[in-house]
């Protein structure tokens, strides 16, 4: 099993194509970027550089680490437009979202620059006269493997937490956005000491070379479940700590007591934002029979408005391989009896666009309900009541997030108590308080992947028990040193205040 199948296209006429990742612009089909793959020697050197810098960086004061991280964030701010433009060229992410992703990455770095020095241990209750406390320590070298769908924001979360906690990092991003990641790594590394952040450019082969290296303490990954499983397998040998936020098949459950137009707008946002290429996109919809017709009609209207949008507002899928997967899921559903109400076919013209699609008559064994499609697809399954909707939402191997749209407090509380996912969102498909953390489960991964809790993931905890040692005493008359533990057996079991001071 490899880290990821190659996802880019090299031009046959390019003599250096074996050593170059060539990405095509998903809007125009023209070459968007060409990035040289790191050689095997460069991969080994990257890990060696990070290992060499680890001890010194761990001993650097947290406040100083935070100051350098803040300087790195400001360097990104100076190049925000350049980063966003490269992201748009490589992945088709619409310009506004690309700029928003860079801004979010900058804010995340600043957040960890502030949280790092505040990361604290715990005081424990022990015996009188003794002290017990727990202190965090950096783990060492972190291997960060980050995705293409929001490359700057997601990478900055992992990198910021790892660096603020005192770790050094080797970072390889997805081969679908290598130019964006290479630029990001260069900008950040310029403000940090040598070896604190080392970038590696490559594909699945490069990833396997990294896993073969010893001395990596953490595998931090956001991406496919298959890759996350591969990291967990490798960690059995290396004993690296694994943090993984992987695929999701997030459900939206719509109650009968909500406005169907509003509910349709929420689901449209969850299913079609970033052309469905978000880890927490709405992937399957369970709607109460009493509002199913109104809801479905409103969702179709929302989908058609989205499809009619300009490419600057509703972009393409990242590449032809993903578009083929999306179409396969739609075709399988139709062959099994589902009905496409809008969208569902590959449009003519350049690029890898795909329309916002609404499918009804879906059954529980269809790919659109059982697998992560990662495209602008809203498959609808009608349910008799919320109990059935919540049950079906819970019966899934993934466990990333779920949305429940309801006006009933009891239903909301039931969802929070029973849905086996990291995040339960009530009446809003996106949002949340700053600094929030979530822990995926099942095929969606394990460990806190962002927020303050990620600092805990990036550190080990040492518990210290401290007691006072008995002092040495001196015999006043002879000047000889007396061991208090044996003084009684030698007849010198008394001492003056001056003797023991």
Task: Provide the annotated active-site residues.
Answer: 245, 279
What Å distances lie between residue 420 and 391, 392, 399, CA to CA? Answer: 10, 11, 6
What 3 state SS string does 434-477 have?
CCCCCCCEECCEECCCCCCHHHHHCEEEEEEEEECCCCCEECCC
Three-state DSSP state, 287: strand
Three-state DSSP state, 341: strand
DSSP 177-228: SHHHHHHHHHHHHTTS-TTSEEE----HHHHHHHHT-S---EEEEES-HHHH
Task: Report the candidate in 476, 320, 448 with the shortest Cα–Cα distance to residue 6.
Answer: 320
List, edge to edge, every strand of the sheet that includes 459-467.
122-124, 130-138, 459-467
Euclidean distance between CA atoms 263 and 403, whole angstroms = 11
DSSP class of 350? S
Euclidean distance between CA atoms 258 and 303, whole angstroms = 20
Strands 473-474 and 357-360: unpaired
Three-state DSSP state, 248: coil
Quickly count: other Cβ atoms within 10 Å of residue 371's Cβ: 19
The residues, ordered by sequence, that sit 6+ positions from 237 with a Cβ below 8 Å of its Cβ are none
Quickly count: other Cβ atoms within 10 Å of residue 341's Cβ: 19
* Helices and strands: H and E segment counts in the chain: 16, 22
Euclidean distance between CA atoms 476 and 485, whole angstroms = 17
Task: Report the candidate in 214, 211, 250 with the shortest Cα–Cα distance to residue 227.
Answer: 211
Compute the Cα dihedral for 198, 201, 204, 209 and give only its sign.
negative
CB 477 within 8 A of CB 484: no
> Token pair 């989908």 is at which residue?
303
Three-state DSSP state, 24: strand
């Amino acid at each position: 099993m490899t880290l990821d199948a190659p996802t880019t296209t090299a031009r046959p006429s390019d003599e250096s194509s074996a050593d170059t990742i060539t990405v095509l612009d998903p809007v125009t089909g023209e070459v968007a970027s060409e990035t040289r793959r790191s050689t095997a020697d460069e991969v080994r050197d990257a890990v060696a550089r990070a290992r060499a810098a680890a001890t010194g960086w761990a001993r650097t004061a947290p406040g100083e680490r935070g100051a350098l991280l803040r300087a790195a964030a400001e360097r990104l701010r100076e190049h925000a437009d350049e980063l966003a433009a490269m992201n748009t060229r490589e992945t088709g992410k619409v310009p506004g979202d690309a700029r928003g992703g860079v801004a979010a990455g900058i804010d995340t770095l600043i957040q960890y620059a502030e949280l790092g020095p505040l990361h604290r241990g715990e005081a424990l209750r022990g015996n009188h006269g003794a002290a017990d406390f727990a202190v965090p320590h950096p783990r060492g070298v972190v291997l960060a493997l980050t995705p293409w769908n929001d490359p700057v924001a997601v990478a900055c979360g992992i990198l910021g937490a790892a660096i603020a906690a005192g770790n050094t990092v080797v970072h390889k991003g997805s081969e679908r956005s290598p130019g964006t990641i290479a630029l990001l790594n260069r900008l950040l590394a310029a403000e940090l000491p040598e070896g604190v952040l080392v970038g590696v450019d490559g594909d699945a082969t490069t990833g396997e070379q990294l896993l073969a290296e010893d001395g990596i303490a953490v595998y931090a990954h956001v991406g496919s479940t298959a890759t996350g499983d591969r990291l967990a397998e490798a960690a059995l040998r290396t004993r690296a700590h694994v943090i993984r936020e992987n695929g999701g098949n997030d459900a939206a459950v719509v109650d009968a007591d909500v406005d169907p137009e509003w509910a349709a707008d929420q689901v449209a946002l969850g299913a079609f934002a970033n052309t469905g290429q978000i880890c927490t996109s709405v992937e399957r919809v369970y709607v109460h029979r009493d509002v199913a017709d109104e809801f479905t009609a409103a969702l179709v209207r929302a989908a058609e408005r989205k499809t009619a949008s300009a490419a600057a507002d509703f972009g393409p899928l990242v590449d032809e391989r993903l578009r083929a997967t999306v179409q396969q899921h739609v075709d399988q559903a139709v062959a099994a009896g589902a009905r496409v109400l809008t969208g569902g076919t590959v449009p003519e013209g350049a690029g890898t666009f795909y329309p916002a699609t609404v499918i009804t008559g879906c059954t529980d064994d269809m790919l659109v309900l059982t697998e992560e499609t990662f495209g602008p697809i809203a498959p609808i399954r009608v349910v008799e009541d919320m109990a059935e909707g919540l049950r079906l939402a819970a019966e899934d191997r993934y466990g990333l997030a779920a949305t429940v749209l309801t006006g009933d407090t009891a239903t909301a509380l039931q969802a929070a108590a029973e849905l086996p996912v990291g995040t339960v969102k009530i009446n809003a498909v996106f949002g949340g308080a700053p600094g929030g953390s979530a822990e995926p489960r099942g095929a969606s991964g394990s460990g806190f992947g962002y927020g303050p809790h990620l600092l805990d993931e990036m550190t080990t905890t040492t518990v210290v028990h401290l007691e006072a040692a008995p002092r040495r005493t001196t015999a006043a008359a002879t000047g000889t040193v007396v061991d208090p533990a044996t003084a009684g057996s030698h007849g010198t079991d008394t001492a003056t205040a001056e003797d023991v001071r």
